[in-house]
Amino acid sequence: MLKFQNLTKIYNTPAGKIVALSGVSFEVASGELVSVVGKSGAGKSTLVKILTREEKPSRGGVFFHDTNICELKGNKLQEMRRRIGVVHQDYKLLCEKNVEENLCYIMQVMGVCDQTIKKDVQKVLEIVGIENRVLHFPHELSGGEKQRLAIARALIHRPEVIVADEPTGNLDLYNTYEVINLFKKINEMGTTILLFTHDKEVVDSLKKRVITLDQGKLIGDDKKGKFIL
Ligand SMILES: Nc1ncnc2c1ncn2[C@@H]1O[C@H](COP(=O)(O)OP(=O)(O)OP(=O)(O)O)[C@@H](O)[C@H]1O
Ligand SMILES: [Mg+2]
């Protein structure tokens, strides 16, 4: 479903070139839950940004069902962004909008009818377990609840893949495992998950495939992997 092909990313900065990714290739099949791990600076967020099209690779491509997402434009790019949902460490919620509005504004822009929106909002909030917070604002939510809302926002477009960049980075141990269990549940419901993290405990507890990056290079791909760095 997803094929990373010989990805290289070089950032050109006034202070010189930085090679963030170097010849990274791997494939992810539909339904997998894959952790991508590596020390700070290994290139995890760069890979996420290429997937979300915040950055383009210097060389190589990312194929999503045989379409190179690095070359998409306009409507096709918007469509891809709904099919690949993203969850960030710092939630990126709209602080002046309540839970329901955070979930439905894109659907409203797309012209989805109110009844469908209401039903879908209720459904995703039940999945993530914050159905009792519909009218609350982000500042009224705990860290764990904010991350659940961010996951609900990714889920509402029924994405085929969810990409999460350090989704537990701001959470305490309890909420970390709540969020990880939620990703497991979403994965069991059929959504492919790519979890980018440097949290060794989390990765080891999952007992799923682990891809290891080190200084921009892929140095490990283990079926029931453990964090080896
Ligand atoms: N916009 C940028 N311009 C220049 N260099 C960058 C930029 N973004 C990242 N880098 C560099 O690219 C390398 C990879 O960074 P990246 O953010 O992908 O690492 P990471 O694995 O996500 O690290 P962390 O665990 O700290 O989040 C680092 O050396 C970083 O300094
Ligand atoms: Mg990062």
What local confidence, expressed as pLDDT, does residue 201 receive?
87
Within a domain: residue 54? Answer: yes
**Mean predicted confidence (pLDDT) in 14-41:** 97
CATH code where residue 197 lies: 3.40.50.300
Looking at the 3D structure of the chain, how many domains does it have?
A: 1
pLDDT band at 229 (very low <50, low <70, confident <90, very high): low
Rg, Å, the chain Cα set: 18
Name which residue leads in pLDDT, 13 or 226: 13
Show the domain range for 178: 2-222
Q: What is the pLDDT of residues 37-78, one digit of tens each?
A: 999 999 999 999 999 999 999 999 999 999 999 999 999 999
81 within a domain of the structure (yes/no): yes
Residue showing tokens 């997803």 = 2
Whose atoms come closest to the Cα of 20: which ligand?
A: 1
In-domain check, residue 228: no
Residue 159 is predicted with a pLDDT of 95
Nearest atom of ligand 1 to the alpha carbon of 213: 21
Instruction: Provide the pLDDT for residue 95.
Output: 96
By CB neighbour count within 10 A (0-12 exposed, 13-18 middle, 19+ buried), where does 14 fall?
exposed
Rounded mean pLDDT, 192-218: 94
Q: Is 212 within a domain?
A: yes
pTM: 0.94
Shortest-distance atom of ligand 1 to CA 48 = 18
Q: Which ligand is nearest to the CA of 19?
A: 1
Which residues on neighbouring strands pair with residue 85, listed in sequence order? Answer: 162
Under 8 Å between Cβ of 47 and 60: no
